[in-house]
Homo-oligomer: A and B are copies of this chain.
């Protein structure tokens, strides 16, 4: 839940009073980039990696902000200290700015730092696993963290119907990622995750680093048609670490229960969540 104070341009603003003029290009042209990291007790794990990715997105998108990486780093810590949520999500958001005609790109962008008050994660997701729905979709510009989630938002009623947690993207029969996480399968003791056309997840990077010498890990194409033959599946995300996937729409993964290797991965990786 968006709460407490937020940062907009050069000021702190109560987030319930944080309004954007209707002419903003994020509204008319989806011209915006963002990033999202997690606070736990005043600390922000891997904050530098998130800041690097955000500034890379800005650069590739052609959106400039006046703050330096160090200034944004300090503003984030200032904000979470002021809000004192303990567990929270932190969103950096930069839009193309106010455009009087709705498409010409102005010189000045709009930059926001938002704080979402969180709570302890319900352990049931780790115990029982989650359900995904799927959609034929390739994220445009996967190297940039854009706001292009129209397809996922459009599938919201379908997600509710399936009690699903997220949407698994695939295109031309090849699985890439979910809308908010990276996706992995386990077959015959080996882990495979998509190697390309995906958003480069910070948690994915840390996961791969943690387990590269402990399990065979293959970065290659995941075929949608192969989901019926895999033993286990899971996702990794900033907010929740490793989370088992037990069902994709009506297809049970393995026997539909959380797999034994996924349990070991959670035990070794999820202490930060």
Residue ranges of A at the interface with B (Cβ–Cβ < 8 Å): 1-2, 6, 8, 15-16, 18-32, 34, 60-62, 91, 93, 95-96, 100-105, 112, 114, 116, 137, 140-141, 146-154, 156-157, 180
Contact B147 A141 (CB under 8 A): no
Contact A153 B116 (CB under 8 A): no
Contact B62 A29 (CB under 8 A): no
Chain B residue contacts of A91, Cβ below 8 A: 102
A112 to chain B, nearest CB (A): 6
**Separation of A182 and B10 alpha carbons in the complex (Å):** 42
**Separation of A60 and B154 alpha carbons in the complex (Å):** 8
Number of copies: 2
Contact B100 A154 (CB under 8 A): no
Chain B residue contacts of A141, Cβ below 8 A: 150-151
Chain B residue contacts of A180, Cβ below 8 A: 103
Closest partner residue, chain B, to A23 (CB atom)? B2
**Separation of A105 and B152 alpha carbons in the complex (Å):** 10
Chain B residue contacts of A101, Cβ below 8 A: 1-2, 116
Chain B residue contacts of A34, Cβ below 8 A: 28
A99 to chain B, nearest CB (A): 9
A250 to chain B, nearest CB (A): 21
With A15-B22, A149-B29, A151-B141 in contact, do A105 and B2 touch (Cβ < 8 Å)? no
**Separation of A31 and B30 alpha carbons in the complex (Å):** 9
Chain B residue contacts of A21, Cβ below 8 A: 16, 18-20
Contact B150 A100 (CB under 8 A): no
**Which of B6, B27, B100 is within 8 Å of A26, CB to CB?**
B27
**Separation of A28 and B137 alpha carbons in the complex (Å):** 19
Closest partner residue, chain B, to A21 (CB atom)? B19
Chain B residue contacts of A148, Cβ below 8 A: 30, 140, 148, 150
Contact B154 A62 (CB under 8 A): yes
Contact A153 B96 (CB under 8 A): yes
A194 to chain B, nearest CB (A): 19
